[in-house]
Structure 1
Amino acid sequence: MSAASQTVTDSRIVRLGYHGSTSVASDVIRLAGRDEAETILSEYDIAEAFEAVRSGRQDVMIAKFAVREPDLATTRTLTEDARAVVVAAGHPLAAHDSVSVEDVAAYHCFDRPGDFPPCIWDEVVPPHTPAGRPLNRRHRVAVVPEMMRLVATGAGVHLTVLSLADVAPAGVRVVPVHDLPPAPVTLAWPRERELPEHVRDFIAAAEKEAGR
């Protein structure tokens, strides 16, 4: 490939932020009608979930649950990520094909990491179950591997999304939670930033395909 063609190709690269599993990112890339070679995936820190896209290190990021940051624009819901709970392999909940969030309330859960917005965390790990049982949001960790290690000890369980099963290590199990709504998946970017045309095209194509 010539230097000129390399420049043209690179100019269409979308720097796409994600968290946890890359499977949802792959779904969004397919919706946009792009090849994964046309994207650079970079994982953002959940404790500072929006910092990389705000600083310009990412063009656009995959967000889950409702984003209520006034400086960020979002697409319509592109896809969904079912709910699940991460438990130790020997945990009582690990023996089930799916569980209720009411069952999860019997165990210590995780509180929001870092500066993660409280209103979004209330959707990830609700303060109470639908029946009114409090969820004890006790543990705080900054990164997924740290959370997985703590869960593997049996010290707590983590309400999350099912796609996290893709990155779950030995010693833990990701069990579907059947009575929480799935997490809506959107793309988010700074509202006041003028995005490059190819990034705008990526966002528009994903929204159009999701709306079919």
Structure 2
Amino acid sequence: MTDSAPLAADRLLGTPPVRLGIHGSPDLAAAIIRAAGRDQNEVELVGYEVADPFRGLRAKELDVMIVKYGLREPDLAVSRPVALDPRAVIVGAHHPLATHASVSVEELAAYEGFRCPGAFPEYVWDEVVPPRTPKGRRIRRAYEMGTVKGLMGTLSGTDAVHLTFQSLEAVAPARMKVVPIFDLPPAPVSLAWLRTPEPATHIMRFIQDAENGSTAR
């Protein structure tokens, strides 16, 4: 039996789409789905809030979710990296760095950033917003990280900076600028799911296909 035969059988039996949790741009998810050799209609994209990222998974409202960097959550399993997301900073269009083609993380230490939101793991936030630059300058986490709307409001009205990922450029409002950070490595992107109960066969097959199609090389 070929690899495509089980997938064809799933479709005939009306297998439900994989509910994939995303935060930010759907373009990253779409690229992972394409690399896995899947059609868009096989996957349902469901947004999750960064302040409580694992709620949907633990409530069984999601089958699998996109995560970045390593997780140390005992109840969650994590795939091998399936993609990379280059680092970037979001600033208001008025910001002194907004016209730069790229910036150093050392430059960002001159401005205030955002605190770890809600139930988001602090050990992952330390990867997203490093406490210090490679040269030892402290990155000040001064602002509350709440909703996306609140974040954009803060960036619009201050000289705050949000260290984030290049994929957000696809959804950033016109009044925002997404500037690449040239001296931070890209973030590894993986898929996470509940260890128990074990996911259905079609979900595990999707995860395996995403690993096999990984662009994180």
TM-score (norm: length of structure 2):
0.91
The 1-side partners of 2:89 and 2:190 are apart by: 22
Aligned partner of 2:70 in structure 1 is 66
- 1:86 pairs, out of 71, 86, 90, with 90
| TM-superposed deviation, 1:64 | 1.1
Moved more, 123-132 or 149-158: 149-158
Q: Contact (CA 8 Å) 2:86, 2:166: kept in 1 or not?
A: yes
Task: Give the superposition deviation at 1:141.
Answer: 2.4
The answer to whether the aligner puts 1:163 opposite 2:167 as a matched pair is: yes
Is residue 95 from structure 1 mapped to residue 99 from structure 2 by the alignment?
yes
Partner of 1:195: 199
Percent identity, aligned pairs only, is: 49
2:49 is the alignment partner of 1:49: no
Structure 2 distance, partners of 1:118, 1:209, is 30
Structure-2 separation of matches of 1:54 and 1:179: 35
- Which residue identity does 2:198 align to in structure 1? E
Question: What residue in structure 2 maps to residue 132 of structure 1?
Answer: 136
Distance 1:198 1:158, change over 3 A: same
Task: Decide which of 29, 32, 37 is 2:36's aligned counterpart.
Answer: 32
The equivalent of 1:75 in structure 2 is: 79
How many positions carry a matched residue from both structures? 207
Tell me the amino acid that sits aligned with residue 145 of structure 1: K
C-alpha displacement of 1:87: 0.6
- Quote the RMSD (CA, aligned, Å): 1.7
Q: Does 1:8 align with 2:10?
A: no
Deviations 1:49-70 (A, max 9, x none): 1111111100000111221212
1:179 matched to 2:188? The reply is no
Q: Which runs of 4+ in 1 moved over 4 A?
A: none
**Offset at 1:6?**
8.9
Task: After TM superposition, give the deviation of residue 155 of structure 1 in Å.
Answer: 4.1
1:149 is matched with 153
How many angstroms does 1:154 deviate by?
2.3
Q: TM-score, normalised by structure 1?
A: 0.93
- What amino acid is aligned across from residue 8 of structure 1 in structure 2? L
Unaligned runs of 5+ in 2: 1-9
